[in-house]
């Protein structure tokens, strides 16, 4: 079995949407402290602007300056006339500078397999390593949610399932008009709990990441903190950001608190020692007043991996007890 949360440690706390048809926004994005950015050829790009936007994507990736961040392009969905050209032009033009493609409106295994096979053909033709470019699958419709579990295991390239609340709300005919917010009139819980939990379970069962979608009220910090805090608490790895003002908040919500990070590292050290012969080869042991066992180790692995990925470092070392 894969260790939870540690297989795909590419940090994705913040995934910045950058319209590929807007050179000013592409330039601005270079200086922003996000974990991932994606150049968007889909809904943020008008149909007539798509051919020029493809060229802008290739140019922006080849120009570099994106160090330390995951470089992603959102292509158009497989049922459009643009998808194949998006993939061919972007990967042929800048495949070496690309980490993942984000495929929107995924509703079946076939959608992901089409992209996987197309990528393989292009990688072979160009002599690029086959399989290096990953895929993020965006789930944003009733059919997509219904297929989430099989989609999540449909390709070894898959790195994340990504929720798309705007298209999802439209697909379900939810009453709300504010993307990412609760629909007015629904006052007995969180209208997004089911879909978030379903995507999270599907992603974790497949050993990949789960990313929450955008919150469109870009000036509402309290709203953003509340909404991001919910998916972070469930276990999501990160969330989209649409505006520079959203970045710090979301990075912080999806990073473990320093105290939790240090505690997780202590659990890992203490458990490793207690289960070793020097520590008595015990399966369960005490760390201070807390009982720790194999399940504690798994939970600690996730927090420690996220803390390290967020740049946290230890300020102390756990040492074995002296008798």
- Write the interaction track for Mg ion spanning residues 133-162; mark x where CB under 5 A is met and - where it is not: -------x----------------------
Residue 154 DSSP label? S
Distance CA 136, CA 122 (A): 18
Going by DSSP bridges, is the β-strand pair 100-103/238-241 parallel, antiparallel, or unpaired?
A: unpaired
Going by DSSP bridges, is the β-strand pair 70-74/290-292 parallel, antiparallel, or unpaired?
A: unpaired
Measured from the CB atom, is 167 or 266 closer to ligand GLV? 167
Distance CA 192, CA 319 (A): 44
- Write the interaction track for ligand GLV spanning residues 103-122; mark x where CB under 6 A is met and - where it is not: -x------------------
Q: Is 165 among the residues that bind ligand GLV (CB under 6 A)?
A: yes
Contact window for ligand GLV (CB under 6 A) among 95-103, 161-169, 193-201, 270-278: 161-169
Residue 80 DSSP label? S
Question: Cα–Cα distances in Å, from 82 out to 103, 114, 144, 188, 208?
Answer: 12, 14, 20, 41, 27
Measured from the CB atom, is 43 or 123 closer to ligand GLV? 43
The residue written with tokens 């972070």 in the block is 232
Measured from the CB atom, is 119 or 179 closer to Mg ion? 179
Residue 13 DSSP label? S
Find the binder of ligand GLV among 35, 136, 140, 265 (CB under 6 A): 140
Q: Is 180 among the residues that bind Mg ion (CB under 5 A)?
A: no
77 binds, among Mg ion, ligand GLV, none (CB under 5 to 8 A by kind): none
Q: Is 213 among the residues that bind ligand GLV (CB under 6 A)?
A: yes
The residue written with tokens 């929107």 in the block is 104
Closest to 163 in 3D by CA, of 174, 187, 179: 179
Measured from the CB atom, is 210 or 300 closer to ligand GLV? 210
- Looking at the DSSP bridge assignments, the partners of residue 36 are 15, 70
* Those residues with Cβ within 8 angstroms of residue 38's Cβ, 6 or more apart along the chain or in another chain: 15, 16, 17, 18, 72, 73, 74, 102
Contact window for ligand GLV (CB under 6 A) among 53-61, 109-117, 162-170, 262-270: 162-170
Find the binder of Mg ion among 164, 165, 214, 238 (CB under 5 A): 164
Q: Which residues bind Mg ion (CB under 5 A)?
A: 140, 164, 167
Q: Which residues bind ligand GLV (CB under 6 A)?
A: 43, 104, 140, 164-167, 179, 213-214
């Amino acid at each position: 079995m894969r260790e939870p949360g540690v297989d795909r440690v590419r940090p994705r706390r913040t995934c910045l949407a950058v319209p590929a048809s807007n050179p000013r926004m592409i330039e601005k994005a270079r200086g922003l402290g996000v974990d991932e950015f994606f150049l968007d050829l889909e809904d943020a790009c008008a149909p007539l602007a798509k051919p020029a936007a493809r060229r802008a994507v290739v140019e922006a990736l080849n120009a570099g300056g994106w160090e330390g961040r995951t470089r992603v392009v959102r292509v158009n969905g497989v049922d459009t006339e643009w998808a194949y050209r998006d993939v061919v032009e972007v990967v042929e033009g800048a495949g070496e500078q690309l980490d993942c493609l984000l495929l929107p409106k995924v509703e079946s295994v076939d959608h992901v397999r089409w992209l996987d096979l197309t990528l393989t053909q292009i990688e072979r033709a160009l002599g690029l390593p086959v399989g290096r470019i990953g895929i993020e699958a965006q789930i944003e419709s009733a059919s997509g949610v219904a297929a989430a579990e099989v989609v999540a295991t449909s390709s070894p390239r898959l790195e994340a399932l990504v929720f798309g609340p705007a298209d999802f709300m439209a697909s379900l005919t939810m009453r709300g008009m504010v993307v990412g917010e609760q629909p007015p009139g629904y006052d007995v819980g969180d209208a997004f709990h089911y879909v978030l939990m379903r995507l999270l379970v599907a992603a974790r069962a497949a050993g990949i990441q789960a990313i929450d979608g955008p919150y469109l009220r870009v000036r509402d910090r309290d709203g953003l903190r509340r909404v991001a805090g919910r998916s972070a608490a469930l276990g999501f790895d990160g969330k989209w950001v649409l505006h520079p003002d959203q970045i710090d908040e979301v990075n912080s919500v999806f990073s473990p608190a320093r105290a939790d990070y240090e505690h997780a590292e202590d659990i890992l050290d203490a458990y490793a020692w207690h289960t070793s012969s020097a520590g008595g080869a015990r399966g369960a042991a005490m760390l201070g007043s807390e009982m720790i066992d194999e399940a504690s180790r798994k939970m600690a692995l996730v927090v420690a991996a996220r803390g390290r990925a967020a740049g946290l470092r230890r300020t102390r070392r756990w040492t074995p007890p002296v008798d």
